[in-house]
Amino acid sequence: MNEAEATAELEKLAREIAHHNRLYHADDAPEISDAEYDALVRRNADLEGRFPHLVRPDSPSRAVGAAPEGPLAKVRHALPMLSLDNAFADEEVADFVARVRRFLKLADDEPVALTAEPKIDGLSCSLRYEKGALVLAATRGDGATGEDVTPNVRTIADIPRRLPSEAPDLFEIRGEVYMSKADFAALNARQAESGGKIFANPRNAAAGSLRQKDPAITAARPLRFYAHGWGEASALPADTQLGVMRAIERWSVPLSTDLEVFTDMAPLLAFYRGIEAKRADLPFDIDGVVYKVDRLDWQRRLGQVARAPRWALAHKFPAERAQTTLVAIDIQVGRTGKLTPVARLEPVGVGGVTVTNATLHNADEIARLGVRPGDRVLIQRAGDVIPQVLENLTPDADRPAYVFPDHCPECGSEAVREEGEVDVRCTGGLVCPAQRVERLRHFVSRHALDIEGLGLVHIESFFKDGLLQSPADIFRLHEKRAELIGRERWAETSVDNLLAAIDAKRQPPLDRFLFALGIRHVGEVTARDLARRYGSWVAFEAMVDRALAIRRGFEPTLGEPERKAAQRRDAAVVAAVETPNIGPEVANALLDFFDEPHNREVLAALFAAGVAPADLVWQTKESPVTGKTLVFTGALETLSRDEAKAQAEALGAKVAGSVSAKTDLVIAGPGAGSKLKKAQELGVEVIDEAAWNALVAGAA
């Protein structure tokens, strides 16, 4: 793989992972399995390891969860709530321990004690106690900012309102809010009887129950809590992970009964196998075992990378599998026209959940598996989401192969597969009912214009009755106020509330407006990059027109190979778009959208209806060494080189391996040689290790 290919794939991975992070953490509605998500993250990490200079500012390796965007108040965490790095094989656990030894410069025979406990699949929550009283409870959110769920948490019996007098004056207990398997089944039975929402799994049920605006709803749900750590604290009751956890247990806060300490690899892995063996019999869902360095002084020295501590690791369990019969293959049409095949299955229990559907991804996957209705198939549930078909167990059955449709099942338009693409797409665009409804739904969705009160049910109803056909019609609904009043479930007050919510979105932020348009490959992150780069719709549209003129006027040189000409054209397009992290695939998709006359007509209609995207004002916060290039040279006496580099990167600096005119600061220890000499020749500032430690302490 060359750098251009790596850059394009890293861009694609950043979009995909950000999308799935939002669905899982913010929407409680994941659409891929844990195993598929983990594979994306591992692929991203592999590419970043091979091309470290291509690591993106929005890299998934630097992200935790997803930013909260619901109706609850936002809370800034005193200390970040981090994620965990994952391991899937015994060798990766051994590598983790070896990395700890290297980082801390430990002797090969010095024991490294690790705590081990089951990883509960719930919603992360932080409980802040001051003077013994519970004063704040918050979800993890994006690790830095969560949602205030204090009134809701006060309804959970497992969580004490007060800690005993022995607890420190300030102490944040962190853990998981979850729902037991039995309580989940009973809740869904009650929901079915009352016609309420049926939850997909216990984790989603717990998350949805905790994040309610009305605490009475939370109080009616059977939520539980397990502690697994802590955040900010004025003092600690012990100097080991296990010691602090036992103190939390004495304060009447539940924690896992399977919490042990190990110093040898063999019993540690035996513990993992034992937990895996009894996984199905546990009263709650777990998806692995978490290991943590027991000594807190070592934890402090190890510190963290962008999204995870160096002193902890999640050892994940393999996926759960089962056999069943494929009854039918249905084709769903998405908002971008993508035709997605879904396997309809004979119901089968997998890991305590009844599965009736599985993803088949695309036409290539169907061909690879050779599946047809009537086949016996092996399915995998690697998380609490729609499973995947792994294998066709009857490939030689005497039935014709499945033929993927070449016309859209919704509108009858031709369905085509572009060169180099795996997906088949409907060409109907806004003519296709499936796409029009989906595009309208996307336009008003939480992460786009976020128009409260205009959900999918209302959009479908308004579309069916001719009230909504395009995004501009949303902003003309006030002209049909009389027609809206009197519709089922629509009284005068509810109609006026909807119209007020629509009016409040006539000047949406530029990035949200760009995302709302549903441009292929332009997700939230890319829309934000474009908005930051151009700041206003006028400047953005001017760039689009310039880039389109360049692309339309491109002429290959005489005799130039087609591929070479396409590469030169794409390079010119990327240069014209002139936005960090945007490569040829996204740039061309952006221009394709604006090159379609009907899309320009949609925009013109929106502007005529009074929509005017607001200019984006972007502010950055400076820190002492943010953006500076540092070089460490010579021996470091109080910390390892990895630890020093981690400190520098945590302060926003870049660490280089050699001194040049671009170097801003050199930290020189005993034995510094040629690098120190070159720094002195270039007039680069030089400090010693003590000064560096003081700088780090001052920036904390």
CATH architecture of the region 320-416? Beta Barrel (2.40)
- Which own/partner pairs from 50-55 qualify as long-range (CB within 8 Å, at least 24 positions apart)? 50/1, 50/6, 51/3, 51/6, 51/10, 54/3, 54/6, 54/7, 54/10, 55/10
**Would you call 213 helix, strand, or coil by DSSP?**
coil
Phi, psi of 613 (to 5 degrees): -55, 135
State the pLDDT at residue 384. Answer: 47
Query: Minimal CA–CA distance to 587: which of 595, 509, 562?
Result: 595
DSSP 103-169: HHT--TTS---EEEEEEE-SEEEEEEEETTEEEEEEE-TTSSEEEB-HHHHTT-TTS-SB--TTS-S
| pLDDT bracket for residue 350 (50, 70, 90) | confident
**Helices within 171-328 (DSSP H only):** 181-194, 202-210, 215-219, 241-250, 265-277, 296-302
Q: If you count DSSP H runs as helices and E runs as strands, how many of each does the chain have, helices first?
A: 25, 22
Is residue 126 over pLDDT 50?
A: yes
Q: Which CATH architecture has domain 510-608?
A: Orthogonal Bundle (1.10)
What whole-number percentage of the chain has pLDDT above 70? 93
Q: Tokens 């997906």 sit at which residue? A: 423
pLDDT of residue 203: 85
More confident residue, 433 or 81: 81
Instruction: Determine contact, residues 375/392, Cβ cutoff 8 Å.
Output: yes
DSSP 3-state assignment of 381?
strand
Give the per-residue pLDDT at 443: 92
Interacting residues of 605 by C-beta distance below 8 A, sequence separation 6+:
470, 471, 472
Strands (E) in 360-504, as ranges, are 376-381, 388-392, 415-416, 425-426
Q: Where are the domains of the chain?
A: 3-62, 86-316, 320-416, 428-503, 510-608, 629-699
**What is the Cα–Cα distance from 388 to 379, expressed in whole angstroms?**
6
Separation between Cα atoms, residue 375 and residue 369, nearest integer Å = 11
Average pLDDT over residues 533-555: 93
Which tokens hold the place of 125?
A: 């929550």
Task: Check: CB of residue 60 under 8 Å from CB of residue 13.
Answer: yes
Helix (H, G, I), strand (E, B) or coil at 349: strand
Tokens of 657: 């391996």
> Mean pLDDT for the chain?
87
Radius of gyration of the chain (CA): 28
- Condensed to tens digits (0 to 9), the pLDDT of residues 288-329 reads 999 999 999 999 999 987 678 999 999 998 777 778 999 999
Q: Per-residue pLDDT averaged across 500-513, rounded?
A: 95
pLDDT at 63 over 70: no
677 is catalytic: no
Helix (H, G, I), strand (E, B) or coil at 389: strand
Q: Is 529 left (phi over 0), alpha (psi -120 to 50) or beta?
A: alpha
Residues 6+ positions from 131 with CB-CB distance below 8 Å: 169
- Report how far Cα 440 is from the mean position of its chain's Cα atoms: 24
Structure confidence by residue, pLDDT tens digits, 219-253:
889 999 999 999 999 999 999 999 999 999 999 99
Of 74, 105, 119, 662, the catalytic one is 119
- Is pLDDT above 50 for 620? no
The answer to whether domain 428-503 and domain 629-699 are alike in fold is: no
Name every residue whose Cβ is closer than 8 Å to that of residue 408 and which is 6 or more positions away in sequence. Answer: 333, 337, 339, 414, 415, 426, 427, 428, 432, 434
Count, residues in the chain: 700
Select the more confidently predicted residue: 70 or 375.
375
Does 3-62 carry CATH code 1.10.287.610?
yes
* Range 428-503 has CATH code 1.10.150.20: yes
Q: Which two tokens stand for residue 371?
A: 């599946």
Query: Which tokens sit at 516?
Result: 């709302």
pLDDT one-digit tens code per residue, 381-417 = 755 456 889 899 987 777 889 999 998 898 887 788 8
Per CATH, which fold does 86-316 belong to?
D-amino Acid Aminotransferase; Chain A, domain 1 (3.30.470)
Q: How far apart are CA 433 and CA 419, in angstroms?
A: 26
Report the distance separating Cα 87 and Cα 148, nearest Å. 32
The dihedral sign for the CA sequence 387, 390, 396, 399: positive
* CATH superfamily for domain 629-699: BRCT domain (3.40.50.10190)
List the single range of 13-22, 128-137, 264-273, 606-615 with lowest mean pLDDT: 13-22
pLDDT in tens, 164-209: 999 999 999 999 999 998 898 889 888 888 777 778 778 888 888 8
Alpha-carbon 566 to chain mean position: 33
Q: Give pLDDT, residue 496.
A: 94
